[in-house]
Amino acid sequence: MRDQFPVGMRVLAVDDDPTCLKLLEVLLLRCKYHVTTTNQAVTALKLLRENKDKFDLVISDVHMPDMDGFKLLELVGLEMDLPVIMLSANGETKAVMKGITHGACDYLLKPVRIEELKNIWQHVVRRRKFDRVDADDDYERLQGANCALGHCQVSDGSAELAGRSTRKRKDQIDEDDDDNNIDCENDNAQENEDQDPSSQKKARVVWSVELHRKFVAAVNQLGIDKAVPKKILDLMNVEKLTRENVATAFGVRDPSYLHMGALDGFSNYQSLAPASAHLPALTSFQPSGLLNRTNPARLGLPGLSPAGIVPVGCIQNNAISNPIDNLGNLSKFQCITENQHGNLLQGVPSTLELDQLQQSKRVQEANNGFPNGFSGNGLASASCSTPFINTTNNPLLSQSQTQLFQSRGLGSHSSMGFPLINSESSQGTLRVASSNLSFNHDNLSNIGNNFSTVSHIENNPISISASSLLGGSPYDSMAGRNLQNDSSFLGGNMIHSHVTIDEKPKILNFGAAGSFKQKTEELKQGLKNEANQVFSAFAGASQPTSHIIDPNPINRLEKSNINGNTDMGLFGQASISAPVLPPRYRIDNKPTTDGQLNFKDEFLLGSSRLQGGFTSNGCNFDDLVSSMIKPLAFVATHDVQSNFVRILEQERDDLMFVDGDIGCDFYPLGACI
């Protein structure tokens, strides 16, 4: 900035109306600014792109023939991160609102007065300062979290990205990234063009196994420190995939989402399902990892786990704000879990879920405060980063929880009904909750409704769609909302996967919807039991060898929990309120060394260990119980139903039901995007 700032501040003025443009030019000159004018938005963009450092501020009319002013606003904000002031003759509140929500730092009415223009320099100063601070905060947070997780390395890239804050890239960002991102940003902008403005930020990408694999491959190829979204995007070469999606996968958009750490959790998860080496397919997820901390090797994702670069699903860009939003994200997230895995996820949530798990684990580690379930810790990051089914230890769970639940939103929710994914092989009842990808964040009540069962559990990878997990309505403290949807518990939407359970699937019923409410107390009480049960259910579901939950708890759970509430659908067990995962998760019919499966922990968290995005790792039950209150375990919904049924049928009741507000607490089940 020049010494005489605001004198000489460089303004780019855009207005298709020559009269207005001339007037504006003279007004700005009178303010002693340096003015460049153009009557075309495309020209303006070109000028800006040529050298974004040439201007300090952009003033643009809203109504232009070649490009909508709001669009220009967005592009400028995204690409150049310059303050943009909108000008319009339309002073209606909704028009002004639109400007502001699109990122305008001010909205002036025509005819514009010189007094107003004399003050516009403030926006430049404000943005500079704010950006710096914001970025620093994000960065620090990210760094801290990552370091805690032992993934500092990974955080470098993401920190940088995170440092950008969700707002825009700052000039500080290195050129490379900027350049890389520009195109992507454009793509995003394009992509969003057709979308409803309110949902613009939601990526519609479903993070499938395939995508995940590509993502991982790209990251590995690039190397952690070079793995910037743009490059990854290029390598992945997926149509319609945006940089934002990729960035989200990193969790960068959501600094709190630590993401990488989660991967570790995954490995645990994976290990949980030791027996089967079925995890194979999931290159990137290691569901088992989540389950079993002691068996990190299981992590099926080559190179993934350590790096923790699991894309948590495509978290939407702005998922941060609202846990519910996260749910939405979850919906998009598909977690495909291999059946064999048995782990909660019934296999490996190949997609983000696993990552989630991992992440959640990490997050958990990093974030011990899981006070209301989730702290804002990265994983949970506001944006529900990916809910993942994370049955791993506590840390994971909490992580996932945090992940899933935005501290603000999730925390308040008690356990999330987490439908345990019961992959009963024979069950055709599980219907993938595919229908509900469009998770309506705001309407948590959808959870129950949205929960669609997953069918084909058998031998089908479980794809858990985050949304389904979240499904819908958040549960308030264990109360759990009624899962309207009979089949889907929690989130039927979320889980899309087919849980294949070789063995009798146990349905972990997390967060039994609805009916939990009344059973809050019971739940708490039963939490412990449930946790076990759930856990086992969870475990059981996936595969014969995996997750076998200690029969006792299960039985107990079964009895107590399986009420067969109709309203709950399969899952509606109020009893299950607490964390979904039973504390003990037995793999291969053996109690896990970890003490119960991390599920326990997770159960506490009420995370979804189940099938999909549930992370429960070794939390101890007590903790679990207490944490259940808030959080929710989110359960792979789709499978819930069938699982649920299975659970009922099972002797052991693995039902783990996490009652709670699923909505927000959804966890890392894969980011649902």
Partner 1 sequence: MEHSRQLGYMKRSLFDQGYLDEQFYQLEELQDEASPNFVEEVVALFFKDSLRLMSNIDQALEKHPRDFHRLDSLMHQLKGSVSSIGALRMKNECTLFKEHCDEQNIEGCQRSFQKVKREHAALRQKLETYFQLLRQAGPAEKATRSGV
- Alpha carbon distance 571, 508 (integer Å): 8
Classify the C-alpha dihedral 415-308-350-195 as positive or negative: positive
DSSP 512-569: -TGGGGGGHHHHHHHHHHHHHHHHHHHHHHH-SSS-B--HHHHHHHHHHH----TTTT
Question: In terms of CB distance, is 112 or 541 closer to partner 1?
Answer: 112
Q: List the structure tokens of 319.
A: 């998922």
Question: In terms of CB distance, is 23 or 125 closer to partner 1?
Answer: 23
Question: In terms of CB distance, is 50 or 92 closer to partner 1?
Answer: 92
26 binds partner 1 (CB under 8 A): yes
Shortest reach from residue 61's CB to partner 1, in Å: 7
- Nearest residue to 354 via CA among 217, 218, 464: 464
Residue from 9, 37, 61, 668 touching partner 1 (CB under 8 A): that is: 61
Question: In terms of CB distance, is 117 or 624 closer to partner 1?
Answer: 117
Question: In terms of CB distance, is 113 or 226 closer to partner 1?
Answer: 113
- Nearest residue to 656 via CA among 399, 474, 431, 391: 391
The structure tokens 């209301």 sit at 372
CA distances from 538 to 347, 459, 493 (A): 10, 16, 18
- Alpha carbon distance 557, 659 (integer Å): 14
63 binds partner 1 (CB under 8 A): yes
Cα-based torsion angle of the residue sequence 537, 543, 544, 548 in order, rounded to the nearest 10 degrees: -30
Q: List the structure tokens of 82.
A: 């310059």
The structure tokens 């969790």 sit at 251
- State the number of binding residues for partner 1 (CB under 8 A): 20
Shortest reach from residue 12's CB to partner 1, in Å: 19
- Alpha carbon distance 84, 89 (integer Å): 17
Shortest reach from residue 112's CB to partner 1, in Å: 8
Question: In terms of CB distance, is 19 or 51 closer to partner 1?
Answer: 19
Q: Which stretch binds partner 1 (CB under 8 A): 12-20, 124-132, 272-280, 404-412?
A: 12-20
Contact 643, 507 (CB under 8 A): yes
Q: List the structure tokens of 588.
A: 């291969």
Residue from 17, 116, 140, 210 touching partner 1 (CB under 8 A): that is: 17
Shortest reach from residue 18's CB to partner 1, in Å: 5
Residue from 100, 114, 132, 240 touching partner 1 (CB under 8 A): that is: 114
199 binds partner 1 (CB under 8 A): no
98 binds partner 1 (CB under 8 A): no
CA angle 432, 438, 439 (to 5 degrees): 90
Residues 66-95 that bind partner 1 (CB under 8 A): 88-90
- Alpha carbon distance 351, 347 (integer Å): 11
Question: In terms of CB distance, is 88 or 446 closer to partner 1?
Answer: 88
Residue from 20, 494, 512, 633 touching partner 1 (CB under 8 A): that is: 20
Q: Which stretch binds partner 1 (CB under 8 A): 20-28, 187-195, 409-417, 591-599?
A: 20-28
Question: In terms of CB distance, is 111 or 223 closer to partner 1?
Answer: 111
Question: In terms of CB distance, is 20 or 604 closer to partner 1?
Answer: 20
Shortest reach from residue 101's CB to partner 1, in Å: 20
Q: Which stretch binds partner 1 (CB under 8 A): 26-34, 525-533, 541-549, 592-600?
A: 26-34
Shortest reach from residue 121's CB to partner 1, in Å: 19
Residue from 2, 46, 54, 113 touching partner 1 (CB under 8 A): that is: 113
Question: In terms of CB distance, is 63 or 584 closer to partner 1?
Answer: 63
Residue from 110, 168, 214, 630 touching partner 1 (CB under 8 A): that is: 110
List the beta bridge partners of residue 313: 671
Shortest reach from residue 143's CB to partner 1, in Å: 48
Q: Within 13 Å and on the Cβ side, how many CA atoms surround 342?
A: 32
SS3 assignment, position 494: strand
In terms of Cβ atoms closer than 10 Å to its own Cβ (0-12, 13-18, 19+), residue 273 is buried
29 binds partner 1 (CB under 8 A): yes
Shortest reach from residue 32's CB to partner 1, in Å: 12
Residue from 2, 5, 7, 18 touching partner 1 (CB under 8 A): that is: 18
Question: In terms of CB distance, is 115 or 239 closer to partner 1?
Answer: 115
7 binds partner 1 (CB under 8 A): no
Phi, psi (deg, nearest 5) at residue 84: -125, 130
Shortest reach from residue 43's CB to partner 1, in Å: 18
Shortest reach from residue 15's CB to partner 1, in Å: 8
- Alpha carbon distance 133, 123 (integer Å): 15
From its phi and psi, is residue 384 left (phi > 0), alpha (psi between -120 and 50) or beta?
left
Residue from 2, 30, 240, 590 touching partner 1 (CB under 8 A): that is: 30
- Alpha carbon distance 472, 474 (integer Å): 6
Q: Which stretch binds partner 1 (CB under 8 A): 17-25, 134-142, 191-199, 521-529?
A: 17-25
Q: Which stretch binds partner 1 (CB under 8 A): 107-115, 250-258, 344-352, 580-588?
A: 107-115
Radius of gyration of the chain (CA): 24
Shortest reach from residue 29's CB to partner 1, in Å: 8
CA distances from 347 to 177, 343, 459, 511, 587 (A): 36, 6, 9, 20, 12
Shortest reach from residue 46's CB to partner 1, in Å: 23
Question: In terms of CB distance, is 20 or 162 closer to partner 1?
Answer: 20
Shortest reach from residue 367's CB to partner 1, in Å: 51
- Alpha carbon distance 329, 316 (integer Å): 6
What is the binding site for partner 1 (CB under 8 A)?
16-20, 22-23, 26-27, 29-30, 61, 63, 88-90, 110-111, 113-114
